Chain A
């Protein structure tokens, strides 16, 4: 071996070890860089013609474990999903308040009954009436403000979905671009590209939004797909996700995904809904809250509001205020003048003076189609809404007027006279199961955005009354956000109610069935193949005449309609503006003196009984069909929130722990250990020193050699 050979071996040691020290120094520099995978140096012998000729660096490796990476991505997605849900729950909790702070619906309801109880001994004292009215308004405000907060939260969540979709698109494109650059570098032999760290960072960020799975390709690129296999980044394509925020009436469109060609930017293949493919990540968490918890809670609240409205209105319409009110303005029933009357039974409409003495009494017999004034001869009337109103107006004569416009029946007494409406005790007037006064909402206590009475009393052969050209769009949405079936019905001239129902059945092709019940309500149910699917009305431009009431509002069709029962829930304006209109008495039409007593509290006692009387509630959200008191239903609603909330909280903890564990396992493989790097530094430093000493020795050998003379 020549001295030159020794020198070049020593030189290779200097080069190899300084290169190794550079790797150590990079590792140390990146000790705190997120997603940095440490590099290790592979040394190999350098040979020349089969002879050892020093040392060389064969490879610098990024130390990564694909399985640990995948687990970390997966755990990250699950954790992010629950994180998003838990963030929204924090807001729901804030709006529900603390247990025992008196703001709960259950407490507000207790306050109403407590105020009624206090008023029992002096029902007409203005202090009693003001405090009852105050407690009723507090209850109504709680319901409507909770409803608007929940719907605001739902919209905010929806906006977040759109924002997250935007971020996901940026990350997907970034990963696709990094893939292309890494491919080029790999082809030229670079195995420890810094771009791979950037790609890992992008993947980690993407997994926060969408659950992802990666497959490492031989060319250095990484294919990315959702956990169920929907491609996000392929070899030559990448996906673009699109979503337009802002549903209408609680109905939201799906998030769609479209593959595009990486070179040309042109779409490849059809766009498809992404919602059913998401199993984790922030977007899935947000959608779950928006379409699940938030929608359910709004519907449960709506169902409670409807129960409150129906029970209080029923009793309040049966009661009479003292002095009897001069005007009774009904709710918007959605009915039009030409609609069949469809009432049976008897009712009485009395005009009284301001002390409650009868001025005139009109007995209406709907079954016979006649009415009689002050016990006079029965005269018959046309059995339509318009025909009856006209006959009633005539019968009132100079004592008052009856008008029907835009779906509302209005009665007014002349001068300071008042009105008392009371159904016959033995054969009460009814339409769709509701009494005369309640059906028209003449003396309603509560009102909201949607009619609480959904039994319309319409029969299949009745004209639909819907304006021609109106359109109803329906979709059947699955629990995972997939749309199983959608359909549309356009109203044509001359359609009966039965025709519209048949058209709806046809449009949905058997996936959802619509049944018109005897009381004029519509029941909808999905076929057995679509259990758990919800019928949503995505658009409804139909209208009954000039009432402003659409088909879906009239019958409460669509999963989101129930929520509207709580929207703008309030005490009716007539009562809110005049607490003496609170009806605490019960008229005695056969009395010789005043038919309504100024100090009569029998109607108030009947209202108090609502505290324990049981109402029936349909299945809504997580609350099953039940017959229970209003208070218990409200308590069940709070129970549902807290059960869901604690489930999310415990899932969040579990997934956070899973993520911490995955990250700790991942970092124990890929992370930089300072102690390890420092000891490597010592080793390479010593090897470098030894190599340098070798050069020194060779130098001395040459000097010795040259000194030979």
Chain B
């Protein structure tokens, strides 16, 4: 067996390099423990980078969907209140007409109708926080319903008073999945306004609907006006129900996207977050390794033949 020579300088260099390596390892582990992350750069993530970034993007996307859908939920909620009001207005109209026809008494009928008209047109022309018309169908700057009084309705077709656009607002609630939340003024207002127009037409100057009504007037109300009010009521109930379904669908989508975001954030965390138990154990091991390297270096530094040779030799 041969014993290798050990060069003095090379030995100290070697020991120093071992100390440096131990230091570097300790530094990396310390950074992991301090930041909780596996690495502060992409190289440290290695071949999981694409999965990490893709998962992060999906999580961000799901978060964005959830946030935006939540905004749509608020809007749908507002629409729900307004559509319910429209529906009850239609019901009031129906009842007013049927009681006037039943009692042959038109007292207050037109006042009620004017009141219903005003409330309904205020809803149809309502604006959102940005000043855009909620039921404008893409035309946010111009009033979707242009008749200003009940008597206006007699001057033209109902359709001519609806100036809203046809584009219904929709919101993306998931990848490639969009939900239409927009409601057009013409869709929810036409039937009610037709009923009101019929009523206004019945209230012709020759025989206004006030006080006690003639039989021809009650017949007119029963056969021509009442059915359109009933239709309006039914139609608005349908519209409210459809809006309610949209509301539920949006809320489901929010829950769905939130859980998807949580799931993908878990993936992200699995890749980029350090396992604290492992990191802490490794920290202690690295500390020991550094301590050992330092001790060996100190010990070897003391060992030299020089210590055992006398400074003067007597031959």
Contacts and interface: CB of A to CB of B under 8 A. Distances in A.
B51 to A, nearest CB: 8
Contacts of B289: none
B46 A110 contact: no
A588 B6 CA distance: 88
Interface string B36-50: 010111111111011
A598 interface: yes
B244 interface: no
Given A100-B268, A107-B60, A117-B172, A634 B53 contact: yes
Contacts of B7: 667-668, 670-673
Contacts of B88: none
Interface stretch (B99-107, B109-117, B133-141, B187-195): B133-141
Interface in A329-372: 355
Contact of A120 (B17, B163, B169): B169
A598 B57 contact: no
B106 to A, nearest CB: 38
Given A93-B41, A611-B175, A612-B176, A106 B53 contact: yes
A646 B167 contact: no
A419 to B, nearest CB: 19
Interface stretch (A456-464, A511-519, A574-582, A676-684): A676-684
B49 A639 contact: yes
B42 A641 contact: yes
Interface string A482-495: 00000000000000
| Band of interface residues on A | 35 or more
B64 interface: yes
Contacts of A586: 167
Given A106-B53, A672-B8, A98 B61 contact: no
A104 B60 CA distance: 13
Interface string B55-68: 01100110111011
A593 B178 CA distance: 27
B50 to A, nearest CB: 4
Nearest to A106: B53
Contacts of A32: 9
A674 B132 contact: no
Contacts of B17: 660
Nearest to A688: B315
Nearest to A125: B130
A100 B39 CA distance: 11
A593 B61 contact: no
B304 A600 contact: no
Contacts of A649: 43
Interface in A112-137: 113-114, 117-118, 120-122, 124-125
Main secondary structure, interface of A, reads: helix
Contact of B172 (A600, A605, A646, A675): A605
Contacts, number: 232
Contacts of B141: 355, 598-599
A676 B42 CA distance: 50
Nearest to B271: A99
B97 interface: no
B56 A612 contact: no
Interface in B203-254: none
Interface string B1-17: 00011111110001001
B54 interface: yes
Contacts of A693: 315
Interface string A585-622: 11010010110011111100100110110000000000
Given A612-B176, A673-B6, A599 B268 contact: no
Contacts of A635: 49-54, 57
Contact of A642 (B6, B42, B60, B138): B42
Nearest to B308: A678
Contact of B64 (A98, A117, A646, A689): A117
B56 A106 contact: yes
Give the residue among A109, A635, A669, A692 with the most B Cβ atoms within 10 A.
A635
A645 B304 CA distance: 44
Contacts of B132: 122, 124-125, 598-599
Nearest to B138: A597
Contact of B138 (A585, A631, A674): A585
B128 A122 contact: yes
Nearest to A634: B53
A663 B10 contact: yes
Contacts of B304: 674-675, 678
Nearest to A611: B61
Interface centre among A96, A599, A600 (most CB of B within 10 A): A599
15 contacts: A99-B41, A99-B42, A99-B49, A117-B171, A122-B129, A122-B130, A124-B130, A608-B172, A609-B176, A612-B175, A635-B49, A664-B14, A668-B6, A673-B7, A676-B5
In the A-B complex, the 9 residue pairs with the smallest Cβ-Cβ separation, listed nearest first, are: A671-B7, A599-B140, A597-B138, A689-B315, A645-B43, A667-B10, A639-B50, A114-B64, A600-B138
Interface of A: 31-32, 89, 93-94, 96, 98-100, 104, 106-107, 109-111, 113-114, 117-118, 120-122, 124-125, 355, 585-586, 588, 591, 593-594, 597-602, 605, 608-609, 611-612, 631-632, 634-636, 638-639, 641-643, 645-646, 649, 660, 663-664, 667-676, 678-679, 682, 685-686, 689-690, 692-693
Given A100-B268, A121-B128, 19 more contacts: A99-B42, A99-B272, A100-B56, A106-B53, A107-B60, A114-B64, A120-B72, A121-B71, A586-B167, A597-B136, A599-B169, A605-B172, A605-B178, A609-B172, A636-B50, A638-B42, A639-B49, A682-B313, A693-B315
Interface of B: 4-10, 14, 17, 37, 39-47, 49-54, 56-57, 60-61, 63-65, 67-68, 71-72, 75, 128-130, 132-133, 136-142, 163, 165-167, 169-172, 175-176, 178, 268, 272, 304-306, 309, 313, 315
